[in-house]
Amino acid sequence: MKTSLLAIGLILAAGCSPAPTSKAPATAPPAAPPSAAKEFRPPTKNSLSYKTPPEWISEEVADNMRKAQYRIPDKGGKAAAASLTFFSMSPQSVETIVNYWRDKMGGADANVATIKGAACPTTLVDIAGDYTGDSPAISDARFLGAIVEAGERTWYLKFVGPAATVEGWREAYVEMLKSLKPTEQ
């Protein structure tokens, strides 16, 4: 191991030596190899590609854990808006996440299904009940959570609000989930 590190150090040091003087015209230094360039790129705020309906209003994220956040109005104009938030964190088991979300919905039963035709492996969690996860609490709420395995990252999406608002956008939400793809960082 020490020998390998010494050899790498010598190779790097040799590459950093001043260039011999010559009468040839100066040229630009060679570009860094692609893998090195990717290694030093700053992380992007959101590394998923997706398209939302124009009615969904993008908002500034409320905290550091959130990667994206939307306010989604009721299609009928009668109920309050719902919220959609994107999180990315270390992978958790589906059971752990479902139980966590069930607790936020007062322990209500959850319907768990795999989204067929999704670009990435995606699990949809559908829960109806009273939402107590954030302030203020929401009575007669609907919670559509998603667990998206996008390359090396796992994304957790939380679409929650009054049942009428969330149900009105359920189909559009599922279509958006089907289109989610990781982007290069």
**Is 56 among the domain residues?**
yes
Residue 76 lies in a domain: yes
Residue 154 included in any domain: yes
Spatial CB neighbours of 142, under 8 Å, sequence gap ≥ 6: 82, 126, 127, 128, 160, 161, 162, 163, 165, 166, 167
Look up the CATH number of the domain holding residue 138. Answer: 3.40.1000.10
Per-residue pLDDT of the chain (185 residues; tens, 9 = 90+): 433 333 333 333 333 333 433 343 344 333 333 333 323 333 344 478 888 999 999 999 888 888 899 999 999 999 999 999 999 888 889 999 999 999 999 999 999 999 999 999 999 999 999 999 877 899 999 999 999 998 778 999 999 999 999 999 999 999 999 999 888 64
3-state DSSP helix/strand/coil percent for the chain, to nearest 5?
25, 30, 45
Domain range holding 146? 48-182
The encoded tokens of residue 113 equal 């299904």
Query: pTM for this one?
Result: 0.72
- The number of folded domains in the chain is 1
Question: Is residue 24 in a domain?
Answer: no
Residue 96 in tokens: 């752990």
On whether the CB atoms of residues 146 and 86 are closer than 8 A, the answer is: no
